[in-house]
Structure 1
Amino acid sequence: MTERDDEFTLYDLRVECVEIRGQDVASYEVGDYFEVHGEELVFPEGQSFSLYALSSLLPLLPAKQRKTHDNDWMTTDTIVSGPDPNVGGRFEITRTRERTFSHSDVSGTNRT
């Protein structure tokens, strides 16, 4: 296997709270964000992020990292609601750049 055959690309993501429509009782505020770089969640220094909001976002992140068809809703729909309808938190998931990875660097599975 050549080195090129071992590579794949993922998008880096920025996940940001863009709106709170209801009661302002969440532990996040408009403007709070984190980034996804490969398998890593990256938080700004000193900023935390709600476990409950994170739990509603996590299932979408691996799919958002991958190339999708221009008409796929995973490409076009960027706003996700938080888990508490009384808070009404809304989060925008933005693809920020492409990053190249090597399969052998991120998987214990030997591909021969």
Structure 2
Amino acid sequence: MKVEMNVKSIKRHCAAGYKEGDKVIYSEPNITSCEGSPLCLYALSSFIPYLTAFGRETEDKDWINQLRELQCPDPANTVVFSLRRN
């Protein structure tokens, strides 16, 4: 299952260069940048445990099904990504 991550919002300035609307696709075991979107090692490394669970078929009651957003670990320049399964 693919997971589409879209940049929903940016607090201040993203050092990696993300802009609202940028898209990154996770399809195990690959992470792909769409249309020139950057790939931030810090953000993606913090997302990996969640993406591997979110990208799998799970029972409806599984906690991972409540996940709708992830944010990068930078507290001053936070980037929020919305998640969607495809």
Please classify the TM superposition score into its range, dividing by the shorter chain length.
Answer: 0.7 to 0.9
Residue 13 of structure 2: aligned partner? 24
Distance 2:72 2:36 in 1: 22
1:91-111 alpha-carbon deviations (Å, 9 max, x no partner): 112111xxxxxxxxxxxxxxx
- State how far apart, in whole Å, the 2-side matches of 1:63 and 1:49 are: 20
For structure 1, which runs of at least 5 residues remain unmatched after alignment?
A: 1-10, 97-112
What's the TM-score once normalised by structure 2's chain length?
0.82
Gap change, CA 1:32 and 1:60, over 3 Å in 2: same
Change (3 A) 1:48 1:62: same
Q: In angstroms, what is the RMSD of aligned CA positions? A: 1.6
Query: Aligned in 2, Cα 1:71/1:14: closer, same or farther, shift over 3 Å?
Result: same
Cα offset, 1:86, TM superposition: 0.8
Between the two proteins, what is the percent identity of the paired residues? 31
Q: Give the AA of the match of 2:63.
A: W
- In structure 2, do the counterparts of structure 1 residues 17 and 70 end up closer, same or farther at CA, with 3 Å as the change threshold? same
For the 8 Å contact 1:23–1:87, the answer to whether it is kept is yes
Mapping for residues 1-112 of structure 1, pairs under 5 Å: 11-20=1-10, 22-27=11-16, 28-96=18-86
SS in 2 for 1:93: strand
Q: Secondary structure at the match of 2:4?
A: strand
| Structure 2 residues without counterparts, runs of 5 or longer | none
Higher Rg: 1
- CA–CA separation in structure 2 for the residues paired with 1:60 and 1:34: 15
Instruction: Judge conservation of contact 1:70–1:76 (CA < 8 Å) in 2.
Output: no
Q: Distance in 2 between matches of 1:42 and 1:58?
A: 13
